[in-house]
Amino acid sequence: MLPLKILVDENVPYADAMFAPFGEIRRFAGRRLSAAELGGAQALIVRSVTRVDHALLAGSQIKFVGSCTIGADHLDMDYLARSGIAAYTAPGCNANSVADYVISVICACSDRLEVLRQGGRVGLVGFGNVGRTVAERLARLSIDSVAYDPLLARSSDPHLSTLDEVLRCEVMSVHAPLTTGGHYPSYHMLTAKQLSGLPNGALLISAGRGGVIATHDLLALKQQRPDIHLAMDVWEGEPSVDKRLADLCLIATPHIAGYSLDGKVAGTRMIAERLAGYVADIGSGELDLPEVALPRPSIDLKAEGDNALLREAVAAVYDVCADDKRFRESLWAEDPAKQFDALRKHYPERREFAFCDYRGAGKALSAAQLNLLAALQGSK
């Protein structure tokens, strides 16, 4: 079957290097891909903005679909299975990136870091790869968390509890995938009535999929409980965004929580490995994939206290407020939806805390400081 003709979303990094061993690569704009553009391609590599279903693939030669993202709500998996098309996602590839986002939001919101490190809790909705990673990263920073996931038995993990328990937390972070079927569909699962039970001054972070909380419920929530702070990364109707809701947010970003360079490269590699396995399974031979080595930035730190050091270390690598500023400016453009995609396409290179080297500015960091920074990075 080799060489293949491969269509790859223009926002998939290092695709030219990782997919070159398989054959010819052609790039496309993810949200605008049409059936006419498929040509004679046998493999399609997408991100979450491309709907892959019968309307796109009927009559094509596509035999492999890979999404370099964790979610599958943009893939018609039933259709792909019926059609004999191999389909894969990249579960967990951006989990650390989303955890970095949550930590950056917490550090940017007034005294939220102090409240949490002095006995407060983060409530998580969704306890898959991302939710678990967020819980683990918070625990290393001495922040407790509790999680709600109706798809998991509560006995399977000590973090798991009820939604009521999650709603009692000072911070609530939503990481549920978007589903419309099954016993527990997540579409519009959280209502204004439920969320209005959050504690005074609570922070609600939404970094899973926009449809999990309806826009009208979030608008109603802010009307009923103006003390509740919103940090929104995902939106119903993307790339269109309700400006009224964005204006009510403490932090608003254009679906970039998982957009670290390290996370995107991990997603690319996971799908390249899946394609290599598919090629081997159909008897076309085994391929060695090239390694992608990213340089490690060095970060100088001056702060002394634990929380001040954490805030400095976080902001030096990823300051969510910069994303918030760019996004708010884009909402005043003539075509905000077009700008939403442009912000994602031209997103600045962002590294994960785990892939940076922290050091003292002018003096060596103490053992306690090094341990705290290792905890931030996800190391034991």
pLDDT above 70 (res 45): yes
pLDDT of residue 18: 94
Question: Is residue 180 domain-shared with residue 121, that is, in the same domain?
Answer: yes
Question: Is residue 114 domain-shared with residue 191, that is, in the same domain?
Answer: yes
Q: Look at residue 275 and tell me if it is in a domain.
A: yes
Q: Report the CATH number that the domain containing residue 189 is assigned in CATH.
A: 3.40.50.720
Q: Look at residue 290 and tell me if it is in a domain.
A: no
How far is 177 from 241, CA to CA, in rounded Å? Answer: 19
pLDDT of residue 189: 96
| Residue 238 known to be catalytic | yes
**How far, CA to CA in Å, does 380 sit from each of 140, 330, 372, 376?**
7, 40, 10, 10
Residue matched to tokens 């400006």: 243
pLDDT of residue 282: 85
Overall pTM surpassing 0.85 (yes/no): yes
Work out the pLDDT band at 21, boundaries 50, 70, 90. Answer: very high
Q: Look at residue 146 and tell me if it is in a domain.
A: yes
Amino acid at 348: P
Question: Is residue 13 domain-shared with residue 123, that is, in the same domain?
Answer: no
Question: Is residue 274 domain-shared with residue 243, that is, in the same domain?
Answer: no
pLDDT above 70 (res 351): yes
Question: Is residue 316 domain-shared with residue 341, that is, in the same domain?
Answer: yes
pLDDT digits (tens, 9 = 90+) for 129-148: 999 999 999 999 999 999 99
**Domain hosting residue 351, numbered range:** 298-377
Question: Is residue 245 domain-shared with residue 102, that is, in the same domain?
Answer: yes
pLDDT above 70 (res 380): no
Question: Is residue 109 domain-shared with residue 248, that is, in the same domain?
Answer: yes
Count structural domains, the chain. 3
- Helical axes 95-108 vs 261-281, angle rounded to 10°: 170
Work out the pLDDT band at 56, boundaries 50, 70, 90. Answer: very high
pLDDT digits (tens, 9 = 90+) for 235-251: 999 999 999 999 999 99
Work out the pLDDT band at 95, boundaries 50, 70, 90. Answer: very high
Query: Considering 170, 238, 312, 352, which one is annotated as catalytic?
Result: 238
Question: Is residue 75 domain-shared with residue 113, that is, in the same domain?
Answer: no
Exposed/middle/buried for 375, CB within 10 Å: 0-12, 13-18, 19+? middle
Q: Look at residue 291 and tell me if it is in a domain.
A: no
pLDDT digits (tens, 9 = 90+) for 133-186: 999 999 999 999 999 999 999 999 999 999 999 999 999 999 999 999 999 999
Residue matched to tokens 């453009």: 333
Question: Is residue 184 domain-shared with residue 221, that is, in the same domain?
Answer: yes
| Residue 168 known to be catalytic | no
Query: Of 274, 228, 272, 234, whose CA–CA distance to 248 is shortest?
Result: 228
Query: Of 319, 324, 204, 322, whose CA–CA distance to 252 is shortest?
Result: 324
Query: Considering 31, 74, 255, 269, which one is annotated as catalytic?
Result: 255
Q: Provide the 3-class DSSP secondary structure of residue 32.
A: helix
What number is the average pLDDT over the span 272-285?
89
Q: Look at residue 293 and tell me if it is in a domain.
A: no
Question: Is residue 129 domain-shared with residue 187, that is, in the same domain?
Answer: yes
pLDDT of residue 261: 96
Residue matched to tokens 């634990």: 306
pLDDT above 90 (res 355): yes
How far is 113 from 175, CA to CA, in rounded Å? Answer: 20
- Kindly report the average pLDDT of the chain as a whole number: 95
pLDDT above 90 (res 278): yes
Q: Look at residue 143 and tell me if it is in a domain.
A: yes
Contacts of 136 (CB under 8 A, 6+ apart): 378
Percent of the chain with pLDDT over 90: 92
Backbone angles phi, psi at 287, to 5 degrees: -125, 145
Query: Of 34, 36, 45, 39, whose CA–CA distance to 10 is shortest?
Result: 45
Q: Provide the 3-class DSSP secondary structure of residue 203.
A: strand
pLDDT above 90 (res 359): yes
Query: Of 181, 240, 182, 184, whose CA–CA distance to 215 is shortest?
Result: 240
Q: Look at residue 37 and tell me if it is in a domain.
A: yes
pLDDT of residue 197: 95
Q: Are the C-beta atoms of residues 87 and 65 closer than 8 Å to each other?
A: yes
Question: Is residue 73 domain-shared with residue 179, that is, in the same domain?
Answer: no
Q: For 204-222, give one letter per residue: b (16+ CB within 10 A) or e.
A: bbbbbbbbbbbbebbebbb
Question: Is residue 138 domain-shared with residue 240, that is, in the same domain?
Answer: yes
pLDDT of residue 84: 97
How far is 222 from 84, CA to CA, in rounded Å? Answer: 47
Percent of the chain with pLDDT over 70: 99
Query: Considering 74, 209, 274, 350, which one is annotated as catalytic?
Result: 209
Work out the pLDDT band at 49, boundaries 50, 70, 90. Answer: very high
Exposed/middle/buried for 349, CB within 10 Å: 0-12, 13-18, 19+? exposed
Q: Look at residue 289 and tell me if it is in a domain.
A: no
pLDDT of residue 71: 85
pLDDT of residue 379: 76
Question: Apex CA 129: angle with CA 113 and CA 349, to 5°?
Answer: 65
| Residue 10 known to be catalytic | no
